[in-house]
Amino acid sequence: MTRGRHKKMLMLFAICLVTVFAEPESSPDELYSRFPKNRDEDKCYDDNGRPQRCIPPFENAAFNVLMEATNTCGQDRPTEFCKQTGVQKKSCEICRYGDHEALFLTDHDNNDNATSWQSETMYEGIEYPNQVNLTLHLGKTFDITYVRVLFESPRPESWGIYKRRNEKSSWEPYQFYSATCRDTYDLPDLKETVGGDDTRVLCTSDYSDISPLTKGTVAFSTLEGRPSAYNFEANPALQEWVQATDLRITLDRLNTFGDEVFGDDHVLKSYYYAIADVAVGARCACNGHAGECVNSTSVDGKTRRVCRCEHNTAGPDCNECLPFYNDAPWGRATTKDAHECKRMY
Ligand SMILES: [Ca+2]
């Protein structure tokens, strides 16, 4: 084999290796294509002025939206934490006010130097049954494709994602990640189950190892493994399943090496939750009657996102007909019928 060819083979091998390791555990963007789309998807009228179904662009709905954290290190007083390096001697630092705030969950990270939110440690009592909640208010209904969490600490032993369909409804479980699904959440591990209905809450043990110690990702794709995902448009239950106005991450159990039982201070201080980024792949939900979502400031001075409604519809999600446009009952636009609201004469 010539030297040049050898080099090429090595390069090819390296590229394959990178491809294998760069592949995320699930590919939410691939799933996103299950939502019907075409390149004119934001146009609510065709070239001849006829109404057609339109949808706002795909976005990271969490970006720069401040999450509420029920616990943050350094918030009340400086606290010590020790880096989990896997070796006996741990390097410890102080977390001060502002070092690891909740706003770092949804800010713009550059890859080499990501900012992260961090909780207090097991030394301060951050352990089951105590929980840490991170809550994201989106301000209106979104169609959620995925929730992706990039951990700075090891991924938790047990945690869950909850959602609310509107600001007044109660929190519903969306997905659980746990090495102890039955004990912690009273659900079977996904590995032990077969089939099931579209809107069943699942628990999986796949992402609950203590390794990797940092930069572990978990991506929850709302339609993954849902039997009717390919027929999304004809399935109202699934359409409702992907909708949320608020999302909550509940951190229940820390992952440990089991050495916390001896109660050593430095060991206890090496167990805490830290997250570098939370991303929510979603579209503003407008029932097929708007091609974009815009900021709107209400009388109380609050700015929130609202659909720019077309087809003579109105409401935050284009969920009703304009006054005097009630010739036919309101309907969600489909690819076959835009369900335009028509003037009553
Ligand atoms: Ca960050």
292 and 229 part of one domain = no
Q: What is the pLDDT of residue 86?
A: 61
What is the Å distance from ligand 1's center to 264 Cα? 30
Supply the mean pLDDT for the chain.
Answer: 88
What is the Å distance from ligand 1's center to 332 Cα? 37
272 and 300 part of one domain = no
Q: Is the predicted pLDDT of residue 22 greater than 70, yes or no?
A: no
| % the chain with pLDDT above 70 | 88
What is the Å distance from ligand 1's center to 62 Cα? 12
Q: Is the predicted pLDDT of residue 334 greater than 60, yes or no?
A: yes
What is the Å distance from ligand 1's center to 159 Cα? 20
247 and 159 part of one domain = yes
Q: How confident is the model at residue 30 (pLDDT cuts 50, 70, 90)?
A: very low
DSSP labels for 43-102? -SB-TTS-B--B-PPPEETTTTPPPEES--TTSSS-EEEE---SSSS--EEEE-TTTT-G
What is the Å distance from ligand 1's center to 116 Cα? 5
Q: Give a yes or no: residue 120 inside a domain.
A: yes
What the block records as the tokens of 181 is 């699904």
146 and 240 part of one domain = yes
Spatial CA neighbour of 83 closest among 153, 159, 163, 29:
153
What is the Å distance from ligand 1's center to 64 Cα? 10
What is the Å distance from ligand 1's center to 217 Cα? 13
What is the Å distance from ligand 1's center to 275 Cα? 8
Q: How confident is the model over 285-305, as pLDDT tens digits?
A: 999 999 999 988 888 888 888
Q: How confident is the model over 190-203, as pLDDT tens digits?
A: 988 777 788 999 99
130 and 226 part of one domain = yes
244 and 329 part of one domain = no
Q: What is the pLDDT of residue 192?
A: 82
How is residue 189 annotated by DSSP? B
The one-letter code for the residue type at 25 is: E
Q: What is the mean pLDDT of residues 306-311?
A: 96
102 and 231 part of one domain = yes
Rounded Cα distance between 135 and 247, Å, is 6
Q: What is the mean pLDDT of residues 230-248?
A: 93
Rounded Cα distance between 210 and 214, Å, is 9
What is the Å distance from ligand 1's center to 109 Cα? 5
Q: Is the predicted pLDDT of residue 26 greater than 80, yes or no?
A: no
What is the Å distance from ligand 1's center to 148 Cα? 13
Continuous segment of H or E residues that includes residue 251 = strand 243-253
What is the Å distance from ligand 1's center to 49 Cα? 44
Q: What is the mean pLDDT of residues 84-90?
A: 68
What is the Å distance from ligand 1's center to 136 Cα? 15
Q: How confident is the model over 90-144, as pLDDT tens digits?
A: 789 999 999 999 999 999 998 778 999 999 999 999 999 999 999 999 999 999 9
What is the Å distance from ligand 1's center to 7 Cα? 39
Strands 202-204 and 172-178: parallel
What is the Å distance from ligand 1's center to 85 Cα? 21
DSSP labels for 256-324? --SGGGG--HHHHTT-EEEEEEEEEEEEE--TTB-S-EEEEE-TTS-EEEEE---TTEESTTS-EEPTT
Q: What is the pLDDT of residue 338?
A: 95
What is the Å distance from ligand 1's center to 104 Cα? 4
What is the Å distance from ligand 1's center to 221 Cα? 21
Q: What is the pLDDT of residue 322?
A: 96
Q: How confident is the model at residue 38 (pLDDT cuts 50, 70, 90)?
A: low
Q: What is the pLDDT of residue 63?
A: 94
Degrees, nearest 5: CA angle 308-313-316: 50
Lowest mean pLDDT among 86-95, 115-124, 232-241, 327-336: 86-95
* Domain limits for position 341: 286-345
Q: What is the mean pLDDT of residues 20-34?
A: 41
Q: What is the pLDDT of residue 37?
A: 52
Query: What is the domain count for the chain?
Result: 2
Rounded Cα distance between 123 and 129, Å, is 14
163 and 223 part of one domain = yes
Q: How confident is the model over 267-285, as pLDDT tens digits?
A: 999 999 999 999 999 999 9
The one-letter code for the residue type at 7 is: K
How is residue 111 annotated by DSSP? T
274 and 292 part of one domain = no
Q: What is the pLDDT of residue 51?
A: 96
CA distances to 7, 85, 101, 160, 179 from 72, rounded to whole Å, are 50, 22, 7, 18, 25
Degrees, nearest 5: CA angle 335-340-342: 160
How is residue 200 annotated by DSSP? -
Lowest mean pLDDT among 124-133, 146-155, 233-242: 233-242
What is the Å distance from ligand 1's center to 150 Cα? 9
Q: Give a yes or no: residue 223 inside a domain.
A: yes
181 and 290 part of one domain = no
Domain CATH for 345: 2.170.300.10
What is the Å distance from ligand 1's center to 114 Cα? 5
What is the Å distance from ligand 1's center to 68 Cα? 14
Q: What is the pLDDT of residue 212?
A: 94
Residue keyed to tokens 């030297």? 3
DSSP labels for 213-225? SS--EEEEETTTT
What is the Å distance from ligand 1's center to 92 Cα? 21
Write b or e for each residue in 62-71: b if 16 or more Cβ atoms lie within 10 A of its Cβ, otherwise e: beebebebeb
Domain CATH for 196: 2.60.120.260
Q: How confident is the model at residue 49 (pLDDT cuts 50, 70, 90)?
A: very high
